[in-house]
Amino acid sequence: MTRFLRASLLAVTLTGALATSLTARAADVAGVHFDDKASLAGSELALNGAGLRTRFMLKVYAMGLYLPKRTDSPDAVAANPGPRRIQIVTLRDLSAEQFADALIDGLKKNHSDAEFAKLQARSDDFRTALLSLKSAPTGTQIRLEWLPGNGTRLSVGNETRGKDIPGEDFYRALLRIWLGDKPADPDLKNALLGKS
């Protein structure tokens, strides 16, 4: 009888764990809600993970990563076909220059000089689009989206900023800011990969 009870409890526990892993992953990060699903370019994306970017113990922004298929591998995130979305909500007032410089610095840290040289012209266009914001006050919603056939699109609120930047390699380069070997924040990297 004891064996039967143990087996039953194990089955219930495993079933519960499986159900939990298959359920939606909506997340609340520092008061910012990230839906478990998003729609982009006619595709449904799932929230892969969400986390908090901190610097010197200050909350800078909350961030969610949406993919067509969930994964816990940075390489698989980069290789994931179809549209993708990085969603950022600022948690403190930032100047556009601070935000742009931090992202460009993240690009440089995660690429060799030769790799970055190939991205230079497009990163300049991206920086120009970011600087057009002037400022990113607390609560600013920023989206960096990969749209197959179009490119990388920067949106603030519901407004597109700048032109779409061609080349999936550029979007993959942006992903490396947070998921590369020298991520902006290791804890955030783990959270975006659903590991925390």
Q: Residue 100 is part of a domain; what is its CATH number? A: 3.50.70.10
Question: Is 185 domain-assigned?
Answer: yes
pLDDT at position 3 is 44
Tokens of residue 187, six digits: 């804890």
Q: Say whether pLDDT at 13 is over 90.
A: no
Average pLDDT, the chain: 87
pTM of the model: 0.84
Say what percent of the chain tops pLDDT 90. 76
> Whole domain around residue 125: which residue ranges?
25-192
Number of domains in the chain: 1
- Each residue's pLDDT tens digit, 68-99: 999 999 999 998 889 999 999 999 999 999 98
Who contacts 32 (Cβ-Cβ below 8 Å, separation ≥6)?
A: 62, 89, 91
> 179 lies in a domain?
yes
Q: Mean of the pLDDT values across residues 30-59?
A: 94
For residue 7, tell me if it sits in a domain: no
- Backbone angles phi and psi of 30, in degrees to 5: 50, 40
Cα separation, 151 vs 139, in Å, equals 26
